[in-house]
């Protein structure tokens, strides 16, 4: 079994991912979704947390040349990024969603060096907006983001386009395909529900609007 398959099963087992195609979740944006992901729960399970950290290290070593630092997105990417940076023996920083309103008004916490090659760690990629916002902040600070590493991605086409436009490769440990396969094996997802999940990923906005969401 691949790491992607193992982690997909882990996420289902600990309740970090919930599938509800017939009774969709409402995201903060108002959009309806058949899946809800809370990867913060992985931090409470040492075995899963360790697999994620080791997996991120493996992604970095396989895909990134001359990596010099790791930066996490606040808040969900901080713990995973810090654990990976510790295993790699590299400096760590994190990027806030916006600058602090007091003190030095930092957006980046931790030292970032001009020209430093940085991998940005996120727990979940949906549209990619939070990761790419962090990448922009790091670039403004003089760093050189060379890759985004994430635990899970929904695999939206728009997100792939956004990373391509930003010139940043994205590598993830597991994804919606692995999750759907794991859910089918466990009996949590039947054929009709799988069709709904596929239609949602293809056009999440249209899927939501058809059901009365944003």
Pick from 6, 25, 1: nearest CA to 213: 25
Starting at the earlier edge strand, list the strands of the sheet with 108-109: 108-109, 92-95, 69-73, 117-125, 144-153, 170-175
Give the pLDDT score at 16: 95
Q: What is the pTM of this model?
A: 0.93
Q: Which helix (H) or strand (E) holds 32?
A: strand 32-33
Give the pLDDT score at 97: 84
22-53: burial string, b at 16+ Cβ within 10 Å, e else:
eebeeeeeebbbbbebebeebbeeeebbebbb
All structural domains of the chain, each given as residue ranges with its CATH number in brackets, are: 3-209 (3.40.50.2020)
User: Model confidence over 35-67: pLDDT tens digits?
Assistant: 999 999 999 999 999 999 999 999 999 999 999
How, if at all, do strands 144-153 and 170-175 pair? parallel
User: Model confidence over 105-156: pLDDT tens digits?
Assistant: 689 999 999 999 999 999 999 999 999 999 999 999 999 999 999 999 999 9
Q: Whole-angstrom Cα distance, residue 166 to residue 96?
A: 19
Chain mean pLDDT for the chain: 93
């Amino acid at each position: 079994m691949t790491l992607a398959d193992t982690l997909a099963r882990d996420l289902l087992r600990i309740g970090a991912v919930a599938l509800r195609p017939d009774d969709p979740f409402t995201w903060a944006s108002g959009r309806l979704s058949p899946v809800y992901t809370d990867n913060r729960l992985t931090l409470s399970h040492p075995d899963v947390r360790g697999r994620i950290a080791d997996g991120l290290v493996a992604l970095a070593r396989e895909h990134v040349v001359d990596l010099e630092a790791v930066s996490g997105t606040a808040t969900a990417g901080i713990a995973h990024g810090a654990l990976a940076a510790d295993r790699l023996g590299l400096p760590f920083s994190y990027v806030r969603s916006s600058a602090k309103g007091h003190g030095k008004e930092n957006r980046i916490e931790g030292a970032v060096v001009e020209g430093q090659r940085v991998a940005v760690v996120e727990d979940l990629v949906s549209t990619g907006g939070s990761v790419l916002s962090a990448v922009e902040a790091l670039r403004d600070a003089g760093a050189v983001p060379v890759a985004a590493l994430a635990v899970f991605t929904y695999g939206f086409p728009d997100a792939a386009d956004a990373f391509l436009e930003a010139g940043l490769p994205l590598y993830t440990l597991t994804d919606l395909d692995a999750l759907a396969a794991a859910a089918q094996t466990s009996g949590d997802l039947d054929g009709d529900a799988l069709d709904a999940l596929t239609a949602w990923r293809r056009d999440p906005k249209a899927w939501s609007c058809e059901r009365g969401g944003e």
